[in-house]
Amino acid sequence: MKKAREKSKKMLAYSQNVLNKMSFDVLLFKKELTKACKNLLAEEVDELMKWVLENFGAQYVLQPIPVKK
């Protein structure tokens, strides 16, 4: 369990590094953010979203996509 948590923390750090590099393009940033959210634990997704808001602002945060029924 401890190794999985360490690996996940490394993935969070890696995701933040990638997002820093992709911040020049909002669409590319959101694509990478989507990938990161799929690969992280739920609590780390929350942490990542807070980090994105603090560092890049609201335009970079993923918005829910409305689904028509």
* Residue at token pair 């996940």: 8
Give residue 11's pLDDT. Answer: 92
Predicted confidence (pLDDT) at residue 67 exceeds the cutoff of 60: no
- What's the chain's average pLDDT? 84
Contacts of 60 (CB under 8 A, 6+ apart): 23, 26, 29, 30, 33, 52
Residue 35 within a domain: yes
Residue 45 in any domain: the answer is: yes
pLDDT for residue 69 is more than 80: no
Q: Is residue 9 assigned to a domain?
A: yes
User: What was the pLDDT predicted at 63?
Assistant: 67
Specify whether the CB–CB gap between 23 and 54 falls below 8 A: no
Per-residue pLDDT tens digits for 17-49: 999 999 898 888 988 998 998 888 889 999 999
What is the domain count for the chain? Answer: 1
| In-domain check, residue 17 | yes
